[in-house]
Structure 1
Amino acid sequence: MVDQSRLWDARTAAEYDTPGEGMFAPEVLGPTAATLAGLAAGGSALELAIGTGRVAIALHEAGVAVTGIELSEAMIARLREKVDATEIPVVAGDMTTARAGEGYSLVYLVFNTISNLLTQEEQVECFRNAARHLAPGGCFVIELMVPDLRSLTPGTGGTLEHSEPGYLLVDTYDTLRQVLVSHHVRFDPEVDGSREASIGRTPQRYIWPAELDLMAQLAGFTLESRWADWDRAEFTAESGSHVSVYRLPTLDR
């Protein structure tokens, strides 16, 4: 069993934020926060695996009361450098079991983070924990990639996802267990020698959309919407990711 708290250590937390770029670019965060604020509908929100607060801070600034659950103490410490506990309270713990109250209008889990849970059982428990926190009629939103197994050539088990001077990203697949491991290789491009390279690995259990929908049903949710991105583009067979909105029944049903 992988200790996820060790993967998300102080070094990772320090390097995680890229203000104004990548995941932190306004064109990414703006639609994310706007969509989540609309789904919160004036109520409070809970972010599972809140990390360093990338989305939570933007949502808080949009006027939504946000609480978080986070396993990594290092990520919480980085969040606390930006906002204090009176603005965004955080419960330290696992997103499958930790409790942060109840009655939320919205629970959300972004950027493939449910895949950090490496078994189907844990992923189902994540749905059930989300349901425990929600008020009747509340919704659970998940942002998740669609596995691109079509990119695997016959006889190979991996793909080169990104290459730039000083960095390579290689993904390897165990298709029997639905486990993808991202290998982050960093090196000095000016030095000729493999001893100068370092490598970090992050395992994930990928989930097909239909499997995700079944997990939701087991926890009492129904699928309300599915988009290709936070701008609500149409989800198609060619989409590389999706934003899925699941809703609990209301009391009068």
Structure 2
Amino acid sequence: MKIDILSLFPEMFDGVLQSSIIGKAAEKGAVSFRVTNFRDFTTNKHNKVDDYPFGGGAGMVLMPQPLFDAVDAVCSKQCAKPRIILTSPQGKPFKQRDAELLSKESGLIFICGHYEGFDERIPQHLATDEYSIGDFVMTGGELAAMAMIDSVVRLLPGVLGNDTSAVTDSFSTGLLEHPHYTRPADFRGMKVPDLLLSGNHEKIAEWRLKESLRRTYERRPDLLEGLSLTDQEEKWLRAWKKDADHR
């Protein structure tokens, strides 16, 4: 996969793209990165990328020309037509399913916003996708792009040491992930559940499913809406709701 990033602050990506799983993925050749400062594509003598909004109002708005020209230049170096992703608080919520879909692409371009926002012709006629990572506002789109890139790159074939890890991640199954334990089995009197030490893999799998469902019910009940559950899972839910009603 080829990932291009258009930013006014390319230095923000230096450590992120060279570290941890992302850095290892690049070393393996699973992904390559190129960060471009789209200010380099301005045509005005002051190298401005923003201007006052028509109609008045607070803040400055990113102009279309530098970004359209920057995308044209980047696309000319990509082998296939890439998805062009705009980071914006007005975009649709970025979820695991979106990361999975983007991981199938051969090329991605991330546009990091700044200031009050974008000229509307950028999301309407340039970007193919507009995503938000949450209902809050940041000073720029760089951190949002980093979060999305991380979630996508880790799904590329061969990037994770264990390919089943991504399959069982929180949100990949529609549920939050079950609790994890490791050595020692008894730490300061806090013990690992006996079942996990039993070697009974069938029972362990059932425990993990049950705890995954319980954690989702307790922490993110919204994720259960519209989710298809088995009869056993419905039975567990009814029991927990009954317990909650009696408290």
Q: TM-score range by the shorter chain?
A: under 0.3
TM-score (norm 1): 0.26
* More helix by percentage: 2
* More strand by percentage: 1
